[in-house]
Amino acid sequence: MKVLVILCLVLCASVAAAAAPDETIVLQMAKQTHIPADEIRRDYNACDSGITLSMKICGSYKWMVQDARLNKTYKQALAKARVMGYESSLVRSQRAWLVYRDAACIYEGEMGAGGGSAEGLYVLSCKLDLTMLQADRLENSLRE
Residue 17 confidence class, pLDDT cut points 50, 70, 90: low
Task: Tabulate helix, strand, coil % of the chain (nearest 5).
Answer: 85, 0, 15
Task: Domains for the chain: give ranges and CATH numbers.
Answer: 22-143 (1.20.1270.180)
Global pTM value: 0.82
What is residue 117's predicted lDDT score, i.e. its pLDDT?
A: 82
Residue 15 confidence class, pLDDT cut points 50, 70, 90: very low
What lies within 8 Å, CB to CB, of 98 at 6+ separation is: none
Q: DSSP string of 5-55?
A: HHHHHHHHHHHHHTPPP-HHHHHHHHHHH---HHHHHHHTT-TTSS-HHHH
For 68-106, how does the pLDDT look when each residue is reduced to its tens digit (9 = 90+)?
999 999 999 999 999 999 999 999 999 999 999 999 999
Residue 62 has pLDDT above 80, yes or no: yes
